[in-house]
Amino acid sequence: NAGVMQNPRHLVRRRGQEARLRCSPMKGHSHVYWYRQLPEEGLKFMVYLQKENIIDESGMPKERFSAEFPKEGPSILRIQQVVRGDSAAYFCASSPRQGTDTQYFGPGTRLTVL
Partner 1 sequence: GESVGLHLPTLSVQEGDNSIINCAYSNSASDYFIWYKQESGKGPQFIIDIRSNMDKRQGQRVTVLLNKTVKHLSLQIAATQPGDSAVYFCAERRNDYKLSFGAGTTVTVRA
Question: What are the residues whose beta carbons fall under 8 Å from the beta carbon of 30, sequence distance 6 or more?
Answer: 50, 51, 96, 97
Specify the DSSP element, H or E, that contains 39: none
69 binds partner 1 (CB under 8 A): no
57 binds partner 1 (CB under 8 A): no
User: Residues in the chain, how many?
Assistant: 114
Cα–Cα dist 74/80, whole Å: 19
86 DSSP assignment: G
Q: How many CB atoms lie within 10 A of CB 88?
A: 20
34 binds partner 1 (CB under 8 A): no
65 binds partner 1 (CB under 8 A): no
Among the listed residues 11, 24, 35, 75, the single contact to partner 1 using CB under 8 A:
35
Residue 32 or 113: which CB sits closer to partner 1?
Answer: 32
Residue 20 or 107: which CB sits closer to partner 1?
Answer: 107
Residues in binding contact with partner 1, number by CB under 8 A: 27
Question: What are the residues whose beta carbons fall under 8 Å from the beta carbon of 50, sequence distance 6 or more?
Answer: 30, 31, 32, 69
103 binds partner 1 (CB under 8 A): yes
List residues near partner 1 by CB under 8 A: 4, 6, 31, 33, 35, 40-45, 48, 55-56, 59, 91, 95, 98-100, 102-108
